[in-house]
Amino acid sequence: MKNVSAEQQRYLSLNLQIILPFLAFLTKICSFPIDNGLIDSELIKECASNNTVDVLLLLDGSGSVGDDTFRMQLQFAALLARRLNISSDGTHLALIQFAELPQLEITLNQYNCESQLEWAIQRIRYLGGATNTGQALNFALENGFQNARGGPVPKVVVVVTDGQSQDEVEEAAQRLHDAQVMVYAIGVTNLVNVRQLHQITGDALRVHTVEAFDQLDKSLADSITWHMCRTDFRPGTPDIICEPDKIGVRATTKKQFEGNVFVQDNFHRAECRAGPEHFPDPNVIGITVPFTNCNVRRYRSLNPRGIFVETTVVFMFHPVFMTKVDQMVKIQCFYMEAEKQVNVPMEVSQITTQFYQKVYQMPRCEYTLRKDHQNGPVVQYAVLGQSVFHRWECVEELNGDQFGMLVHSCFVDNGFGDRVDILDAHGCGLDAVLLHTPDYDSTLRLATKEYHVFKYADRPVLQFQCQITLCLKLDGGCLGITPPKCAETVPRHIVAEQYIRRRKSKKQRKARTVHAWNSVGGEAEEVRATTMDVFTRPIIIVENDQQFANKHNANSKLAFNSNATPALYSTLFFAEARLDGGFLLLASISIINLTLATMTAFCWWKMHRRRATWTRRRSGGEKYDK
């Protein structure tokens, strides 16, 4: 500092007086945890210490697990216990081992010290036997929460299993959900039934899967603990109930509830209102109504395609009057087409109105021709006059029963542009010789009809195409749509002359709609949003059994039968070649035509330009310089 002047020293001192406090302030700010979506042990510890939960852990002790891997489940239980605030005033943890019969190993308030709880966990002995998860869920509800604190303390079940339950789980899981128990499921190994895991939890976000028991580790325990202690199901925050046949909401309160929960504009209807007498726990309130009651609204959506079901529920805290502390919750259940994920978004508005939404997948539909009976093998070759069954089927995921179907607008095509309609836009048969009106089963998602194989003259190939319109069964949505009400189908030549029409364009076919009877307004409406095209595989028709046998021998042995005529093999060969390469041939022809058209247009443009240039030069008196 010898060469530094006094003025420079004062300047440096002043800067240090400003910079050092700023650095101290910056250090203090940076020491705060930043919520960037990542979690660490400190954040989890803080979250668990500030929130109390009654946790019931269900461990799979069936024969498929084995003693060693069961020990890994016990280690995971100990990991989970270390992350929870185990104490008399904090989190309580109970443990059930289930196999053929469930067994309560540790009750909720048995241990209020973490070390004692871990010691008790390690002393549990492996049972062995069948896997009855549904029975374990019922046992958990009836016996596991006997000492639960209730009120503002959430009840949580965590299920660990390695396979498929040998009994039904859906009804038992629904009982837990109705009792306001939040359920998590952990599936171990690739043999686990993921559909059952979703039935157990009722929410895909609470389903976890790992490939082996050694992956029941710290990170999984951290994830479940973090989600558990931050659950939205806490005092003052409503929790959505959006299920296949009903809609509702529930919440917990810090004080005993003395008012009413009711569907908006339906306070005076007893089935649309719930008061203190309906709540076993006066701190846990809510209401659930079927889609068919209390003016629950249903309407269609084209973008995204699906159906909304919605209602608005009012939490009125005073027994008689509405006040400023009341809340209104608007709930929407959305049934969407397949390949859409289930989600529950929520938005809060001026008077705490909240919007909930749940997405359901629409069924997958197919159209096949079956041999001998409706469940027979799919037909590829058939003999003229042979009995074959048409089969239309829509399959819902998770064995749901939400949708019905109408098969309509069917026609048969010979592959050369000639088509004949066989079912009209209402799903009724047009010609008894070709096909009667299909028979529908009680689910309205399966339709079948027997017919005798026919063919076009000189055309050995047939393909059938139909449209399937889906309707929602809820609130009578399929009434008047399916099954169709049709007059007796008669041979078409008795009614009018039959014409073979050329195939319509793709745009025209997609424009076809079904005029269905609206059960609410009594008027016809167009159903476009849930209509899809379905096709059978092309089938090759032969005229007698000998040709049919020859065809099969030619296919299986890659050699021609000497009894078969060359004309038949030629016809079948070219028919199959057309089926295999038809699209490629059409594409090639289209490309060639497009190329020729482009070249013609270019030549015309070039000649027109030269002619214009020559005319302009002549009129201007310019000399043409060769």
pLDDT in tens, 339-378: 444 444 444 444 445 554 555 577 889 999 999 888 999 9
Q: Which residues of 131-168 are buried (b: 16+ CB within 10 A; e: fewer)?
A: bbbbbbbbbbbeebbeebbbbebbbbbbbbbbbbbebe
CB distance 415 to 473 below 8 Å: no
Q: Between 569 and 536, name the one with better pLDDT.
A: 536
pLDDT at 165 over 60: yes
Least trusted range by pLDDT, from 245-254, 542-551, 598-607: 542-551
The verdict on pTM exceeding 0.95 is no
Assess whether pLDDT exceeds 90 at residue 50.
no
What is the predicted pLDDT for the residue at 447?
96
Q: How many other C-beta atoms lie within 10 A of the C-beta of residue 265?
A: 12
| Through-space distance between the first and last CA atoms of the chain, rounded to whole angstroms | 90
Contact 363, 344 (CB under 8 A): no
Classify residue 339 as left (phi > 0), alpha (psi -120 to 50) or beta. left
**Residue 344 · residue 357 · CB < 8 Å:** yes
Give the DSSP H or E segment for 566: helix 566-620
pLDDT value of position 492: 55
User: What pLDDT, on a 0 to 100 scale, did the predictor assign at position 12?
Assistant: 53
Q: What is the pLDDT of residue 155?
A: 87
SS3 content of the chain, % helix, strand, coil (to 5): 30, 30, 40
Least confident of 355-359, 507-511, 582-586, 613-617: 507-511
Of residues 357 and 59, which shows the higher confidence score?
A: 59
pLDDT-based confidence at residue 159 (cuts at 50, 70, 90): very high
How far apart are the C-alpha atoms of 81 and 228, rounded to whole Å?
A: 13
Return the minimum-mean-pLDDT range out of 131-135, 255-259, 495-499. 495-499
Q: What is the pLDDT of residue 587?
A: 76
pLDDT value, residue 406:
94
Q: Above pLDDT 70, what percent of the chain?
A: 69
pLDDT at 137: 94
At residue 232, the pLDDT reads 41
For residues 543 and 404, the model is more confident at: 404
Question: Residue 7 pLDDT more than 60?
Answer: no
The H or E element that residue 359 is part of is strand 354-360
pLDDT of 582 > 80? The answer is no
In this prediction, residue 574 carries a pLDDT of 43
Q: Which H or E run includes 553?
A: helix 545-557
559 or 399, higher pLDDT: 399
pLDDT attached to residue 522 = 40
Return the percentage of the chain with pLDDT > 90, whole number. 18
Mean pLDDT of 487-506: 50
Q: How far apart are CA 35 and CA 47, in angstroms?
A: 13
pLDDT at 625: 44
pLDDT at 52: 80
Higher confidence at residue 34 or residue 365?
365
d(CA 159, CA 60): 8
pLDDT of residue 409: 92
Contact between residue 173 and residue 183 where contact means Cβ atoms under 8 Å apart: yes
Distance CA(18)–CA(188), nearest Å, equals 59
Paired tokens of 409: 């607008």
Q: How confident is the model at residue 51 (pLDDT cuts 50, 70, 90)?
A: confident
| Topology, domain 41-229 | Rossmann fold (3.40.50)
Instruction: Output 239 or 212, whichever has higher pLDDT.
Output: 212
CATH placement of domain 364-543: 2.60.40.4100
Task: Using the structure block, give the residue that is written with the tokens 């082996």.
Answer: 212
Average pLDDT over every residue of 521-548:
66
DSSP per-residue string spanning 147-204: T---TTS-EEEEEEESS--SS--HHHHHHHHHTTEEEEEEEESTTS-HHHHHHHHSSG
- Say how many C-beta atoms besides its own lie within 10 A of residue 306's C-beta: 20
Give the integer Cα–Cα distance in Å for 313 and 273.
Answer: 9
pLDDT over 70 (residue 515)? no
Asked whether the predicted pLDDT for residue 162 surpasses 80, the reply is yes
pLDDT value of position 6: 60
Give the separation between CA 198 and CA 295, rounded to whole angstroms.
30
Rounded average pLDDT over 454-479: 83
Which residue do the tokens 């009209």 mark? 424
pLDDT, tens only, 65-105: 888 889 999 999 998 888 888 888 888 999 999 998 999 99
Residue 116 has pLDDT above 60, yes or no: yes
Taking the CA of residue 451 as centre, how many other CA atoms within 13 Å lie in the half-sphere pointing to its CB? 24
Size of the chain, expressed as the number of residues it contains:
626
Q: Are 227 and 206 in contact (CB under 8 A)?
A: yes
The pLDDT of residue 214 is 82
Instruction: Please give the average per-residue pLDDT across 216-227, as a whole number.
Output: 78
pLDDT of 9 reads 58
What is the predicted pLDDT for the residue at 247? 82
For the chain, give the mean pLDDT.
Answer: 74
